[in-house]
Amino acid sequence: MKKYIMAFDAGTTSARTILFNKDGEIVSQASKEFTQYFPHPGWVEEDASEIWSSQIGTAVEAMSKISATADEISAIGIANQRETTIVWDKNTGDAIYNAIVWQCKRTAPLCDKLKKDELTDMIKKKTGLVIDPYFSATKIKWILDNVPFAREKAQKGELLFGTVDSYLIYKLTGGLCHITDYSNASRTMLFNIKDLKWDDELLKIFDIPKSMLPQVKNSSEIYGKSSSKFLGGEIPIAGILGDQQASLFGQACFNKAMAKATYGTGAFILMNTGNEIVNSNNGLVTTIAWSYKDKVTYALEGSIFECGSAINWLRDDLKILDAADDSEYMATKVKDTCGCFVVPAFSGLGAPYWNQYARGTIVGLTRAVSKYHIVRATLESLAYLSKDVLNAMEEDAGFKIEELKVDGGVSKNNFIMQFLSDMTGISVLRPKIVELTALGAAYMAGLGTGFWKDLEDAKNILKIDMSFKSNFDKKKREEKIKAWHKAVKTSLYYKE
């Protein structure tokens, strides 16, 4: 009897495996952090083999906690950090270089050259994306240009590229499947989101052999089975979604105009735009949300590079916090920030600014500012950045967002969620289950194997835990946002 769906939540700094039952309840979970490397300022890397070993290790642990067998698991679904780039040897399955993480800025000079060559409009028209080091294409090119013999091997068809989902599936199936789904393909800056195929013109511009690329599949279908040597039996792999699209799906934002925000290492706000490609004039990207039963759903997205990582900065680097959870208590120790603003642009600013050279800034410092004010200002910055994205989203889409569903670890912070509602003036809804990324991947896998019958099954699972509503004075809100934008300008003036 199939009792469970297994979800891989392959995040930016940790691997997690969660087993869900048919009611969408978590019955077992395990997680393991892995190392990030910073070989140069602005560079971020991870060991692909550690990503794999951490992920499969948590899967075994989650099963062992409840003595689950492979026969009891209907399917595996994967939600993954998206643009992170892995290139591996087709014959050995080993990465030829560390995974280059989505946060990495090493390809900024190449992006500048692409802009100078007036390719911005063409790339955006084809992919829905802005030219930025964030996306995979320039990372692949960097590996081919800088790793010894990489380009020669690629031209011989000996190398494969994939985002983390592709790499995990390749390893999990013993090299039998080299695939991805539409949501992840749309984040590479190589995929034409209108024609729904890898774009030959873009491949030529980036000098990337097509043989490296995975086959693109629906987000929900049976792709293959895990090798029995890993989990004690063969389990169908039946769902793939980029992590942010997974949380949009997990939040049951199945209809046009529904929006969600995930607050994890970074923060990502997505709005379902249905079967319509909405082009942004306000610094957002157009992306594929998912493909279900051969129908593609699109979304508008705004990416905020620093969120939980900003709180970790307070804890790990400034040593202001003993634990990340202490941030809420410390923020409420003072009534405001005493005129202080923190702009956490540690790796540039994402939407709607898209400035890779912006750097973290603290403004408004006086001797009256204490560590409590710094903590509060850092937490408030996450709401301000969200407000900027939501404003851009409403302008592009042409209608007002009435409510925002939230998830991710940072969404547990009540101070941030209330301030978010205060600064946006909209209702913020937090479900009882905050692991919506994993749940979205589980839904896709479960729908792919018939574990869940249809979207109504998934919709009925979601229950709201807490709603945050604003009674904030409109004039005071506008004053605060105006002051925030002055702080952002200070950050944008910085350039190495």
Q: Is 33 annotated as a binding residue?
A: no
Which helix (H) or strand (E) segment holds residue 255: the answer is none
Average pLDDT of span 170-181: 96
C-beta of residue 161 within 8 angstroms of C-beta of residue 87:
yes
Tokens 């729904």 identify what position?
A: 196
- Could you tell me which residues come within 8 angstroms of residue 263 by beta carbon, excluding any fewer than 6 positions away? 307, 308, 382, 406, 407, 408, 409, 410, 411, 416
Is the CA virtual torsion 373, 374, 375, 377 positive or negative? Answer: positive
Q: In 90-163, where does DSSP find H-type helix? A: 108-116, 120-127, 136-146, 150-155
pTM of the full predicted structure?
0.86
Q: Is 242 annotated as a binding residue?
A: no
pLDDT for position 153? 96
User: What percent of the chain has pLDDT above 90?
Assistant: 80
DSSP secondary structure letters along 389-458:
HHHHHHHHHTS---EEEEESGGGG-HHHHHHHHHHH-SEEEEES---HHHHHHHHHHHHHHTSS-SHHHH
Q: Is 308 annotated as a binding residue?
A: yes
User: What percent of the chain has pLDDT above 70?
Assistant: 100
3-state secondary structure of 264: coil
Q: Is 16 annotated as a binding residue?
A: yes
Confidence of residue 415 (pLDDT cuts 50, 70, 90): very high
pLDDT for position 447? 93
- Could you tell me which residues come within 8 angstroms of residue 492 by beta carbon, excluding any fewer than 6 positions away? 349, 353, 355, 358
Q: Is 13 annotated as a binding residue?
A: yes
Q: Is 83 annotated as a binding residue?
A: yes
Is the CA virtual torsion 313, 314, 315, 319 positive or negative? Answer: positive
On the CB side of 447, how many CA atoms lie within 13 Å of its CA?
23
Q: Does domain 4-244 have CATH number 3.30.420.40?
A: yes
Q: Residue 458 above 90 pLDDT?
A: no
> How far apart are the C-alpha atoms of 143 and 151, rounded to whole Å?
8
Q: Is 134 annotated as a binding residue?
A: yes
Q: Is 287 annotated as a binding residue?
A: no
Q: In 147-256, where does DSSP find H-type helix? A: 150-155, 164-172, 182-185, 200-206, 228-231, 243-250
Q: Is 120 annotated as a binding residue?
A: no
The tokens of 331 are what?
Answer: 């923020």
> How far apart are the C-alpha atoms of 101 and 13, rounded to whole Å?
10
> How far apart are the C-alpha atoms of 72 and 6, rounded to whole Å?
10
Q: Is 409 annotated as a binding residue?
A: yes
Q: Residue 312 above 80 pLDDT?
A: yes
C-beta of residue 80 within 8 angstroms of C-beta of residue 10:
yes
Q: For the chain, give every domain's residue range.
A: 4-244
- Average pLDDT value for the chain: 93
pLDDT for position 461? 81
pLDDT digits (tens, 9 = 90+) for 326-382: 999 999 999 999 999 999 999 888 888 888 788 999 999 999 999 999 999 999 999
pLDDT for position 81? 92
> How far apart are the C-alpha atoms of 268 and 389, rounded to whole Å?
9
Is the CA virtual torsion 480, 380, 495, 283 positive or negative? Answer: negative
* Alpha-carbon 371 to chain mean position: 30
Most confident of 174-178, 430-434, 459-463: 174-178
pLDDT for position 28? 96
> How far apart are the C-alpha atoms of 305 and 102, rounded to whole Å?
9
pLDDT digits (tens, 9 = 90+) for 106-154: 999 999 999 999 999 999 999 999 898 989 999 999 999 999 999 999 9
DSSP secondary structure letters along 352-392:
TT-BTT---EEES--TT--HHHHHHHHHHHHHHHHHHHHHH
C-beta of residue 334 within 8 angstroms of C-beta of residue 377:
no
